[in-house]
Structure formats: C-alpha cells, structure tokens
Chains A and B, each alone.
Chain A
C-alpha cells in the first residue's frame, strides 16, 4: 500500500494545485494569462488522470487522459490563442471589482463544497476519494468566475475551467465515465468552443467589442 499512499499524496497535491489555479483565475485580470492558467489547469488534470490510471491500472483512463491532453492542452488552447490574436484582445485586461471580496466568497464556497462532498467521498472507492470536495470547489469557483466576468472571452474561459472541474470530479469519484460518453462530451466541448468562436465575431461585428455590458438591451421594463 506504500506506493499507493505515495500516489494518493501526489494526486492530492495535484488537486491542491488545481484549486490554487482556479483561485488564481478568479483574480486574474489579463485574458492572456487567464488562458495560460487554463492550459496549466488542463495539464494538471492530465497528470492526475495518468497517475490514477497507472496506479489503479485502468486502461480506459489512459485513453481519457490522452483525450484530455489533446483536447484541453493542445486543441482548445490553440483555437483560443488564434481567436485572441484575431480579435486583438491579447493584452486587454478587464477591471475586476474588489478582488478581496471575491476571494472571501470563493473561500466560503470551498468550505461549503468540502462539507457537501463528505458523504460522497465516504463511499467513493477510488484513490482520490477525498478530492471530490476539491473538484466541487473548482466547479463552484469557476461558476463564480463566470458571473464575475464582464467580457465574453473570459466568460468562456471560466466555462472551460468549469468543464475541467467536472472532468476532475468524474475521474476522482468514479475513475471516469464510460468511454463512449467521454467521447461524446469531448465532441460537444469541441463544437461548443467552435461556436463560441463564431459568436465572438458576431458579437464584435454587432457591438464592436466583446464587452458584455452592451448585451443588456433585452429586458423587461
């Protein structure tokens, strides 16, 4: 069981890194650095998945690790970087209203998530049983990030980190979903990002900026 403990510790360390990254994203102003953080998040995700796969000898986890790598570390970032260059928003940074408060709320969410995860991790059989709380925390934090952002692009990044959190949750609780399902999800994610891309251009040509503050004309009065 020794190496298993070691593996567990490593994985938990990685999980902690994941959480750290999402906090960083919550506070990050620059879209470019935000994107880089997202890539890192993906990478950590892949690493943890590989570790789990190797320790628990689950071949299909290797596949899903590979899938994640291709999708979240290569393809999506590549697309997003190109989009950024095309839209010329590499170095624009958005004003975030009082980051400390955001941090505090995030903290509260983490605690809440851990409390919530207790029963589940109690019955999870995997090596990462207690990381579910972290996964949940990541999800909630990304959610918080999405609704804190004012720009379409950064919102999308938040959306993607939410996806990462979900993936992590899946692996941590149940060694990942069945392969077919994961493929389906990957496909959806890909299409989604494409459509996001299309939308950036629509929004820009309609509102000549990606500021969401202008997308508030449809409302009741």
Chain B
C-alpha cells in the first residue's frame, strides 16, 4: 500500500505538473508532491521497522532495510531539493535563463525522475530495475539540457550516449542473469528475474555465466555510478544542468546506481564463491578516488569541482562495499547517507553563490561571508564536512572505512590517505577565497532557501557525534543483509 503511494505520488505529480507546470504556483505544487512522497516513504519505513522485510504485488516489489533506507533518503533529499529549487528556479527565470515552458518541463521531469529512482529502489524484478534506470537516465537527460546552451546540450548528449550504451550493456548482463537463473528456477520462469528468488538460489547459479553477467552489469550500472574510467559524463552533466538537478544527480542518482550494482554483487558473491566481485569493486573504488582527487586540482568551475568530489566519494563507498563485511558495509551505507546529504547541501549553497556572482568560475566568486553570511557559512561548513573534517558525519564513515582497510587490506590505506590529503588541499584552497575576503556583488532578489542546507548539515553534524541507536540498528541490519 505504502509502496503504491511512494511510487504514485511522484508519478501522478509528473503528469499533473506536465499540465500545470507553467503556472506560478507550480513550484509549490512540486513541493507539496515531494512532501507527500516523503510522508509515504516515512510510513513505509515505519512499516518495515515493525514488520521487517516484505514483498508486495505478487513479489514484484521487495522492501528490506537496505533499500528502504535509501527510499527514505531519496524522498528526504527530493523534498528538500524541491524546497530549494522554488526560489532558485524563480531567480533563474528572472535572470531570463528559463522560460515558463522550460519550467514546466523541469517540474514534471523532476517528479518523473523521482518516480524512476523510487521504482528502481523498490522493485524486486531485475528487469524493471533496468527499465527504471533507463527511465531515470532519459528524464535527467532532458533536465541537464534544460538551458539549451551549447555547453548544456553537449553535456546532455555525452551523458545520454555514455549512459545509454552503459545501460544497454547492463541489459545484456540482465539477460545473462536470466539465462543463468532460468535453468535453476525452471523454464517458464516469470520469477526468474525476481531478486528474492535469485538470492534464494544464488548458490547454484552457474559461476561462469554469473561472472560474465556481473561484469556487464558492473560496467553498465557503474557508468551511472561514475566510477573511473567510466565517469567522463559526470562532471559535464553536473556542471551544465541546473543546480537542483546537480544536487539530486550526485545526491541520489549515483546512490541508486550503486544500489543496483550492490544488488548484483550480492548475487555474484553467492554464485562465484570467490572474492572476485569484491576485488573489482575495490579496484574501481581506489581508481576513482585517486583519479578524482587529482582531477580536483585543475578545476575552475565550482560545480565541476564538487562533481569530481562526488566521484571521489563514490569511489570510497564502492571500495568499502568491495571490502565487504559488516563494518565496511555499515561504513559504506553511512557514507552514502552522509555524502548525499552533504553534497546536496553544498550544491544548494554553491547554486546561490553562483547566482550572487553571476558565474560558476571560482576565481570570480569572492567574499560570500561579507555579502551573504548564511550562504558563505553553508558553503564553508559543507565543504569542510565533505572533506571529512570532524565533527561532521562524513569523517565517521571515512574513519570506519580506513580502520577496516587497515585491518583487511593495509596496502590500500596509504593510497586512500594520500588521495584524501590531495583532495583536501585541492578543494579547501578553492573554498577559502570564495567564502572569505571582500566582494562588490549585490544581494539576491529573493531570499534564498537555505533551510535545507542547514537541515542537511545539522543531520550530518549529529551523525558525527551521535548516531541514534535505532538508526544504527537499522544500518547494521542492512549491512548484515548485504554481507549475505
């Protein structure tokens, strides 16, 4: 029941906004829809907390602690983003960068995107997982090219082709998976693609087929996660799309894609009886972290900068999942949460910063504290948080990752540490002059919605010093689930 609500709200919302999206109150409608989604998601969470894992609509949907926490996170960030985008898009419109028609497209596509991600999270059918991932791509492609500038069209095209091809590979992987499953689960296997069934019999799946399948799925969905060297679409898409989209892209979409990868890894682990999938993930993770940390040094565009930082953090999370085991998975899940909250908060602040100075070039953005303290502090604190500075929660998960790495794979620890240090120097040296110093920019026409920023940072800060036992328990469940 709740599932239907969770999926229905954004889907209907998308249709509704496709009609009324051009009206003045469209933004408010969008906020309301997101709120409804959030409430439905909360209900779902409560249900799971009390009832435990469950399947619905003859097993087409499957909710366990792992995906329900991502559902909650997605709904939350989706809501705050819609709150943020209300004044933001209005200002954009007044700066003449967007027409009413574009705003309609934006609002409806935004909700569609939400729906796609929620479907991807809740579905039990690997086929539908693929379908919804493709749907997410299609809807965001239009969002990325919203401004219709040369740059945005180019970015969207690259995004489209790269992810499209990637997704296609994932489809082949799914087909192989189906093949492997079918001769275990028997011929007319309507449910040979149902994850729960696959999970039940993963021990008997033919290893070599599963190996192939996993590779295709990993490359396919990994492209969307933004793992190096499949990441090339990510900075362009983040930098050229509107800021709320960048926020949800790196805050949510990457998580969802990673979620898909992990679901597949669980099966592959079971089938292969080897650490191969884990090692692949670790390799991708390390490579992404290191490469991204060096990429950071050459950035001039603020949103590109944080896009690369997203790659870096996705790398860390992937590495953690690759290591496996309850602690590492716990850390990875925590890091997923922390990263999406912090990164979206940063993008909110950065968005307003770019509006203040009228450019995304970092050497033009100066003295935010002087002109708009809340934006300045938001950006500064968010930046420090994403750099893994205690007492913010990002440090907590990085700490756990490092400790586990030291225990299981000591060789990897120095690499990670170097990457972290390099990234710190790169980002912070850009952050500081933007926040501090003097400026002659003028304040914004509308008061920016920075409540989301500080809500997110507040949560992140709390998680740094205190993780509520219920939440911790929930993470543990999920972690154990992934560890299989």
Q: Which of B192, B193, B240 contacts A218 (CB 8 A)?
A: B240
User: In this assembly, does A148 line the interface, its C-beta being within 8 Å of a C-beta of chain B?
Assistant: no
- Say yes or no: is A191 at the interface (Cβ < 8 Å to chain B): yes
Binds A, one of B1-9, B124-132, B375-383, B396-404: B124-132
Please report the C-alpha to C-alpha distance between residue A188 and residue B120 in the assembled complex, in whole angstroms: 14
Question: Contact at A178–B193, with CB atoms within 8 Å?
Answer: yes
Flag whether A24 is at the interface (Cβ < 8 A). Answer: no
Q: Is the CB of B150 within 8 A of A143?
A: no
Residue of A nearest to B154 (CB): A215
> A162 to B165, Cβ gap below 8 A?
yes
Instruction: Name the contact of B212 in the complex, choosing from A116, A166, A192 (C-beta under 8 A).
Output: A116
Interface hits, B252-301 → A, CB 8 Å: 295, 298-299
Q: Among B81-89, B94-102, B134-142, B431-439, which stretch is in contact with chain A? A: B134-142
Among residues of B, the one whose C-beta sits closest to the C-beta of A219 is B236
B134, B145, B168, B212: the one within 8 Å of A159 (CB): B168
**Cβ–Cβ < 8 Å partners of B239 in chain A:** 218
* A116-B212, A166-B175 known; A202+B148 contact, CB < 8 A: yes
Contact present for B155 and A159 (CB under 8 Å):
no
List the A side residues contacting B384 at CB < 8 Å: none
Are B153 and A202 in contact (CB-based, < 8 A)?
yes
Question: Are A217 and B176 closer than 8 Å at their CB atoms?
Answer: no
Which chain A residues in 145-170 approach chain B with CB under 8 Å?
146, 152, 155, 159, 162-163, 166, 169-170
**Which of B130, B148, B154, B208: most chain A CB closer than 10 A?**
B154
Kindly identify, within residues 168 to 225 of chain B, every residue whose CB is under 8 Å from any CB belonging to chain A. Answer: 168-169, 171-172, 174-176, 178-180, 182-183, 187, 189-190, 192-193, 206, 208-209, 212
Contacts A170-B175, A188-B131 known; A203 to B153 CB distance under 8 Å? Answer: yes
Q: Is B151 an interface residue (CB 8 A)?
A: yes
Is A125 in contact with B183, judged by CB distance below 8 angstroms? yes
Question: Nearest chain A CB to B374's CB is how many angstroms away?
Answer: 31
Expressed in whole angstroms, the minimum distance between the Cβ of A87 and any Cβ of chain B is 15
Check A177/B168 contact, CB under 8 A, given A184-B128, A188-B131.
Answer: no
> From residue B120, how far is it (CB to closest CB) to chain A in Å?
12
Asked whether A192 lies within 8 Å of B164 as measured between CB atoms, the reply is yes
Alpha-carbon distance between A202 and B151 when the two chains are bound, in angstroms? 11
Cβ contact within 8 Å between B153 and A120:
no
When C-beta atoms are compared, the residue in chain A nearest to B126 turns out to be: A181
Interface residues of A in 122-157 (CB under 8 A from B): 123-125, 136, 139, 143, 146, 152, 155
Q: Counting CB contacts under 8 A, is B245 at the interface?
A: no
Q: Which residue of A lies closest to B297 (CB)?
A: A220
Contact in complex: B190, A217 (CB < 8 Å): no
Contacts of A146 in B (CB 8 A): 161, 165
Check B176–A120 contact: CB distance below 8 A.
yes
Main secondary structure on A side of the interface with B: helix
Q: Which residues of B sit under 8 angstroms from A120, Cβ to Cβ?
A: 176, 179, 208-209, 212
Question: For the complex, is A207 an interface residue (Cβ under 8 Å from B)?
Answer: yes
Interface size class of A (residues with CB under 8 A): 35 or more
B474 interfacial contact with A, CB 8 Å: no
Q: How far is the CB of A216 from chain B (nearest CB, A)?
A: 8
- Give CA–CA (A221, B179) in the complex, Å: 45
Contact A192:B151 (CB < 8 A) given known A177-B178, A178-B190: no
A88 at the A/B interface (Cβ < 8 Å)? Answer: no
Q: Is B193 in contact with A119, judged by CB distance below 8 angstroms? A: no
**Does A195 have its Cβ within 8 Å of any Cβ on chain B?**
yes
Asked whether A173 lies within 8 Å of B149 as measured between CB atoms, the reply is no
Chain A residues within an 8 Å CB radius of B330: none
Would you call A191 and B172 a contact (CB within 8 A)? no
- Say whether chain B's binding surface is mostly helix, strand, loop, or mixed: helix
Contacts A119-B209, A159-B165, A202-B148; is A195 near B236 (CB within 8 Å)?
no
Residues of chain A contacted by B138 (CB below 8 angstroms): 188, 191-192, 195
What 1/0 mask marks residues of chain B from 5 to 43 whose CB sits below 8 Å from any chain A CB? 000000000000000000000000000000000000000
Point out the residues of chain B lying under 8 angstroms from A196, CB to CB.
160
CA distance A178 to B209 in the complex (A): 19
Q: In whole angstroms, what is the CA distance A166 to B166 when docked? A: 12
Which A residues touch B148, using CB under 8 A?
202, 206
Please give, as numbers and ranges, the residues of chain A lying within 8 Å of B156 by CB-CB distance. Answer: 199
- B364 / chain A contacts, CB cutoff of 8 Å: none
Complex Cα distance A188/B163, Å?
Answer: 13
Across-interface contacts of A174 in B (CB, < 8 A): 175, 178-179, 182
Provide the bound-state CA to CA distance between A116 and B172, in Å. Answer: 13
Asked if A2 CB lies within 8 Å of chain B CBs, one says no
Contact flag A218-B131 (CB < 8 Å), given A178-B193, A188-B138, A195-B142: no
In the bound complex, how far is the Cα of B130 from the Cα of A154, in angstroms? 25
A169–B193 CB distance below 8 A: no
Interface string of A175-193 (1 = CB under 8 A from B): 0011011001101100110
Is B127 touching A178 in the complex (CB atoms < 8 A)?
yes
Chain A CB within 8 A of B90 CB: no
- CA gap between A159 and B295 in the complex, in Å: 30
Closest-CB distance, A155 to chain B (whole angstroms) = 6
Is B158 in the interface zone, CB < 8 Å from A? yes
Residue pair B128, A166 in contact (C-beta under 8 Å): no
A188-B134, A218-B151 known; A162 vs B168 contact (CB < 8 Å): yes
CA–CA, A162 to B158, complex, Å? 17
* Chain B proximity of A221: nearest CB distance (Å): 8
Once the chains bind, are A188 and B172 in contact (CB under 8 Å)? no
List 21 A–B pairs whose Cβ atoms lie within 8 Å, in order of A's numbering.
Answer: A119-B206, A119-B212, A120-B208, A124-B179, A159-B161, A162-B168, A163-B168, A166-B175, A173-B175, A173-B179, A174-B182, A177-B178, A178-B189, A178-B192, A188-B138, A199-B156, A203-B157, A206-B148, A206-B149, A217-B150, A221-B298
Please give 12 more A-B residue pairs, beta carbons under 8 A apart, in addition to A215-B154, A217-B154, A218-B236: A120-B209, A139-B169, A155-B161, A166-B168, A178-B190, A181-B125, A185-B130, A195-B138, A199-B160, A203-B153, A206-B149, A217-B151
5 tightest CB-CB pairs across the interface, nearest first?
A: A181-B127, A184-B131, A173-B179, A119-B208, A188-B134
